[in-house]
Amino acid sequence: MLVLGLEGTAHTVSAGIVSENSILSNSSSTYIPETGGIHPREAAIHHADKIIDIMKDAFDNANVKPEDIGLVTFSMGPGLGPCLRVVATAARAFSIKYNIPVIGVNHPMGHVEIGRKLSGAKDPIMLYISGGNTQIIAHELDRYIVLGETMDIGLGNMLDKFARDSGIPFPGGPVIEKLALKGNKLLDLPYSVKGMDTSFSGLYTAAKSYLKKESINDICYSMQEVSFSMVIEVLERALYYTNKNEILLAGGVARNDRLRSMVSLMAKDAGYKAYLTDKKYCMDNGAMIAQAGLLMYNSGTRMNIMDTKINQKYRIDEVYAPWIKSNNNTINKNKGAESIIKRSEFFNRNVIIKRRIIKGYRNNELDKKIRYARMKNEFLILYNLYEKNFNVPVIYDFNKYDMELTMENIDGITLNEYLINNSNYNDVLSKTGEIIGKMHSLKITHGDLTPNNIIVKENKIYLIDPSMGSLHPELEDMGDDIFLFIESLKALYKCWNKMQNIFLNSYRNNYHGYKDIMDTVKKISERRRYV
C-alpha cells in the first residue's frame, strides 16, 4: 500500500509518499520570517499557498498518481493551530475525493518511526529534540511513553530565542552551531536537571545576560555544551532505568554535529548502540507522518472524518502503538548512569565503593564540577537522613580526589524489581509514602525519586542516591519528588493508578502540607511543553 503523509506543525509544510519498504518521495517548503520567530498565521498562509505544489511534486518524484494512494495521513498535533488546520483540511479533502482512509498522526511519533525505519533501530530510547519539544521517549506496554522532557521551553526554542536576542536570523540553531566551533571558554550557566526532566529557561536568561560582556562565540559554545550535556545525561539515565540498549536521536536539533558526536561518545563509553537519524529526515517532513500512519493503520487504527480534529497538545503517550515488542534486558547492578559500584571491605565491614564516572562527552571542566557537587550533596543528605533515623546506607569515607564514596552495602533489591516481580505491593508502597512524607516534613528532598533509587530489604525501605536532593528545599523541590515518583509509576507498571493511590494516601498521612504539594505537582505537570 502507498501512503501519502502531510506535515505542517510549525515552519515546514511537507508531503511524502512511502510504501511498506521504502520512501518514494518527500517534498517540503519552509516558511522563513523576515524578522523574529514563527508567526503562526503567516506560516499557515505560507502552507496554504505551497501545499498543492509540494503534493504535486511528491507525486511526480514518486512517479505515482493520486489514484494509487491507499491511505492519507497528516500531522494532527502537537503544533501551531493555524498550521495544523491547513494540512488537516488538505488530508480530509484528499480522503473524500479519492474515497480512501485518513489517519491523524502524532508528530513526535513520526520522528520516532522514520528514524527507526531508516536506521534499523528496533526498540530504542529516543532523544527527540526540536524547536517545541525536548523529550526522552521509550516504548513500554503497547505505547510510547515520555520518561522525561522539558519543564518549560524546548532546547531548540531556547536556541532560537537567544538567536533573536543576538540578531541571528531564524532558524538560529545552525548559526549558533557554527559560532560555537570558534568558542572555547566555558561560561557559568545553570545546569538544570531534575530526575529525567530538564529546564532551559534559566540557561537562556543567563546566556542572554552575557551579551556585550563575553564573546558571542563563547556564549554559543557554552550554551551547547551545557544544554546538550543535560539532555544526554537524562538520556543515559533513562537507558539504565528501562534496561534498553539502543539509542535513537531525532528532531530538528539532531542535525547538530556536536550533539551527534556527544550522543555517539556516550553510547560508546557506556556500551550502547547509537542510531542517528539521517539529517535529511531530522527536519519535519511528510514521509515521517506517512510511515507512522502506515504502522497505525496496519495495527488496526481507523478514523472517520469526525475523528480528525487537530489537537495542539497531542501527546505521544496517547497513541496505541503495539507494533514494537519491548525488550526486557538484564539489569547491571554494579553500574548506573553516573557511577560504578564495587563491593569491598572497610575495617571488617561489608561495603560498596561508589565512584562517579568521568563523562567523556561532557566538557572536562563541567564534568568535574557536576561530579563533585553531586557526590558532596549525596554525602550530606545521606548523613542528615541517617542522623534522623532513616534507613539509608552509612557513609564511611569521602574521597574527593577519586570521586568515591565508601558506604554500607544494602543487599536488597530495587523497588522497581520488587514491583515487577510481586503483585502484593501494598505494604511496600505504603511504607515508601510514609518515609517520603516524613522526609519532606524535615525539609529534605531526594531529587531523583524513582523506584530504582529505593531499596527493599527484609520488608524495610532504604533510600539511596539522593545526589540531586536538597537540605533546604522549596515547595517546588518537594513537588518534583512526588511528580517524578508518580510519573515513574505511570511509565513502568500497568497497575500504576492503584500504586499511586497507595503511595499518596500514606504520604498524605505523614506530611501536613499535602494539599500544597499536590497543587505544586499539578502546576509542574501543566508546565510541560505539551500536556
Q: What is the per-residue DSSP string for 116-131?
A: HHHH--SS-EEEEE-S
Contact 351, 399 (CB under 8 A): no
Residue 276 has pLDDT above 90, yes or no: yes
Contacts of 433 (CB under 8 A, 6+ apart): 502, 503, 504, 505, 506, 507, 508, 509, 510
In Å, how far are 69, 414, 473, 475, 522 from 480, measured between CA atoms?
A: 48, 21, 10, 9, 10
Mean pLDDT of the chain: 93
In contact, 331 and 421? CB cutoff 8 Å:
no
Q: Is the pLDDT of residue 420 over 60?
A: yes
> 393: pLDDT confidence band, cut at 50, 70 and 90?
very high
d(CA 363, CA 370): 11
Cβ atoms within 10 A of the Cβ of 515, count? 9
CA 10 to mean position of chain CA atoms: 20
Confidence band for 531, pLDDT divided at 50, 70 and 90: very low
528 band by pLDDT with thresholds 50, 70 and 90: low
Distance, in Å, from the CA atom of 420 to the CA atom of 414, rounded to the nearest integer, reads 10
Q: Which residue, among 379, 280, 215, 210, has the nearest Cα to 14 in the 3D structure?
A: 280
- Predicted local confidence at residue 132, as pLDDT: 83
Kindly list the distances between the CA atom of residue 163 and the CA atoms of 135, 169, 170, 210, in Å, as whole numbers in the listed order.
22, 7, 7, 13
Pick the catalytic residue: 152, 160, 448, 465?
Answer: 448
Does the pTM of the predicted model rise above 0.75?
A: yes
Give the DSSP letter string of 415-465: HHHHHHH-S--HHHHHHHHHHHHHHHHTT-B-SS-SGGGEEEETTEEEE--
| pLDDT per residue as tens digits for the range 285-335 | 999 999 999 999 999 999 999 999 999 999 998 999 999 987 655 445 456
Give the tens place of pLDDT for each residue, 44-92. 999 999 999 999 999 999 999 999 999 999 999 999 999 999 999 999 9
pLDDT at 116: 95
Region 245-266: mean pLDDT is 96
Cross-strand bridge partners of residue 138: 145
Q: What is the mean pLDDT of residues 344-369?
A: 95
What percentage of the chain reaches a pLDDT higher than 70?
Answer: 97
Q: Is the pLDDT of residue 32 over 90?
A: no
Q: What are the pLDDT digits (tens) for 425-466? A: 999 999 999 999 999 999 999 999 999 999 999 989 999 999
If you ran DSSP here, which 8-state letter would residue 470 be given? B
**Among this protein's residues, is 448 annotated catalytic?**
yes
41 pLDDT band (50/70/90 cuts)? Answer: very high
Instruction: Give the burial class of 201: count Cβ atoms within 10 A of its Cβ; 0-12 exposed, 13-18 middle, 19 or more buried.
Output: middle
Tens of pLDDT, residues 90-103:
999 999 999 999 99
Q: Cα separation of 195 and 484, whole Å? A: 7
Cell for 371? Answer: 561530579
Q: What is the pLDDT of residue 330?
A: 46
What average pLDDT score do residues 194-217 get? Answer: 94
Give me the DSSP letters along 154-199.
-HHHHHHHHHHHHTPPSS-HHHHHHHHTT----------EETTEE-
Hey, is 344 helix, strand or coil? strand
- On whether the CB atoms of residues 344 and 374 are closer than 8 A, the answer is no
Q: Domains in the chain, start-ordered, CATH in brackets?
A: 2-114+282-314 (3.30.420.40), 118-279 (3.30.420.40), 339-408 (3.30.200.20), 413-527 (1.10.510.10)
Residue 258's pLDDT is what?
98
